[in-house]
Homo-oligomer: A and B are copies of this chain.
Amino acid sequence: MSLLIKNGRVITATDDYFADVFVDGGTVKQIGKDLAVKAETVLDATGKLVIPGGIDPHTHMDMPFGGTFSSDDFDTGTVAAAFGGTTTIIDYAIQTRGKSALEGLDAWHKKAEGKAAIDYAFHMILTDMPEERISEMRRLADDGVTSYKMFMAYPGVLYADDGTLYRAFRQAGADGSRVCLHAENGIVIDEIIKGAVQDKKLAPIWHARTRPTRMEAESVHRAIAIAELAGASLYIVHLSSADGLEQIKLGRMRGVDVHAETCPQYLFLDESAYLSEGNGGFEGAKWVMSPPLREKGNQDALWQGLRLHHVHSVATDHCPFFFNGTWKPGDPSPERPGKELGRAGFNKIPNGAPGVENRMALMYQGGVVEGRLSLNRFVEVTSTFAAKIFGLFPRKGTIAVGSDADIVVFDPNRTETISVNNPRTHRMRVDYSAFEGFTVKGYPDTVISRGRIVVDKGSQQAKGGGQFIRRARAGELLR
């Protein structure tokens, strides 16, 4: 199947030029002025941007959490991602404490296989890692899972202690795998939560008040120190605060190999959301996620970090739960309970919010339209950097000869209002939008995965077809 995208303005993390892009067999074959090739499909991209498909390196599809599951699976979640201009996700598989990580990987392969509309890869969440099982890590890398996530939060659930961190960091460093980290000191936070609950401080706002930014900063600092000793390449996920960012900067000033990811929610929303009226004071539950939304001043710090290369990547941490437990026209009601699990207290609210569909448009609006990021930097933080750090490059993350034709034809003039009621912006299987009412200028028109048009002008063109991508190790290229 061949495809010719004509007359677009091609943007990569570095480049910016007008050309035709010719795709055949799922990869880019030629780029040039007025290409004289024949193609089965021809797209006119005049006046449009032609950009690498988005890579969302942080999603949780079909993930068990606190007695339920996130409401998007690999079918609905990847379709929504595609509508939003994302052509690859890296989802977090989970190793169960005391069990083999390879079992966890198998389970996630089963969740995804045959369902995904776009390509996907897995990180592996490690919950423990005793010496006797540490050889699993190299096997995971051999199987294309070349990154881990560990939690300094959620004691008793996903939490890994410092010894586990050190062991896993050392092995990852030796294997050329990268380490992702949820950096919040969950041990101290649990003590603070205990106090709040004793004092009957149970409303959603207490989710934010019991997770101080200082505890994010502390964990970032600690993880950097351990990674420095262990020789690991560190990637802090969903960085949410200026305090946390300061530690990233100080670590990098010292020369440590650490990078940071943030999410649109920390760039566009703030903790006042938890005080939203409605639903009997429970409305704020929609934004209960960890780390929580922060005071507004943190937003500028994070945007500045993106601009000045202190923050490197933007992911969504997509992890939706229904707010009301009913779904809209035609859809069977969900069998998965949602935010209502936490009616009795903020600490029981499932952590997470939807977002996989909104990332590209939000970042274009807040970054490019509002003048904070160049077009190249927009592409870099939404796609290229993730491809490079996570071993997908050069197959993914760029538009270049030989690369997978994961391409978005992006209309810089199309305006949309993000809403659960706007089917052009909301295909996620969840009954609310975290960004309800946000208006964005610039939206994906056509979304192409390995040369296959998945979405075109707001309608789904293909189902399934996504493949698992075995990722490369640090220092290797994925050809």
Q: Does A212 belong to the interface (CB within 8 Å)?
A: yes
Indicate the size class of the contact surface on chain A.
35 or more
**Interchain nearest-CB distance for A439 vs B (Å):** 25
Contact with B along A185-216 (1 / 0, CB 8 A): 10110111000000000000000000010110
Residue of B nearest to A190 (CB): B163
Q: Pick the contact of A212 from B185, B229, B252, B403 — CB < 8 Å?
A: B229
Q: In the complex, what distance in Å separates the CA atom of A214 from the CA atom of B167?
A: 17
In angstroms, how far is the closest chain B Cβ from the Cβ of A259?
10
Q: How far, in angstroms, from A384 to B16 measured CA to CA in the complex? A: 13
Considering the chains assembled together, what is the distance between the CA atoms of A400 and B16 in angstroms?
A: 8
Whether A19 sits at the interface, judged by CB under 8 Å, is: yes
> In the complex, how many angstroms separate the beta carbon of A24 from the nearest chain B beta carbon?
9
Q: Does A309 contact B (CB under 8 A)?
A: yes
Q: How far is the CB of A2 from chain B (nearest CB, A)?
A: 13
- Which residue of B has the minimal Cβ distance to A401? B19
**Binary CB contact string for chain A from 239 to 250 against chain B (1 if under 8 A, 0 otherwise):** 000000010010
In the assembled complex, the Cα of A304 lies from the Cα of B256 at a distance in Å of: 10
Q: Could you tell me if B15 and A394 are in contact, using CB atoms closer than 8 angstroms?
A: yes
Interface residues of A in 222-276 (CB under 8 A from B): 222, 225-226, 228-229, 246, 249, 252-253, 255
Q: A31-B31, A32-B29 are in contact. Are A226 and B188 (CB under 8 A)?
A: yes
Contact indicator B162/A188 (Cβ below 8 Å): yes
Q: Mark A152-194, 1 if CB is under 8 A from B, else 0.
A: 0000000001110111000000000000000001011011100
A393 to B400, CA, bound (A): 18
A452 CB within 8 Å of chain B:
no
A22 to B226, CA, bound (A): 49
**Contact pick for A17, options B10, B192, B380, B403, CB 8 Å:** B403
| 21 CB < 8 A contacts A-B | A13-B13, A14-B380, A14-B398, A15-B398, A15-B400, A16-B393, A16-B400, A17-B394, A31-B401, A33-B401, A162-B188, A163-B187, A163-B191, A166-B188, A188-B226, A188-B229, A192-B229, A221-B222, A221-B225, A249-B253, A255-B304
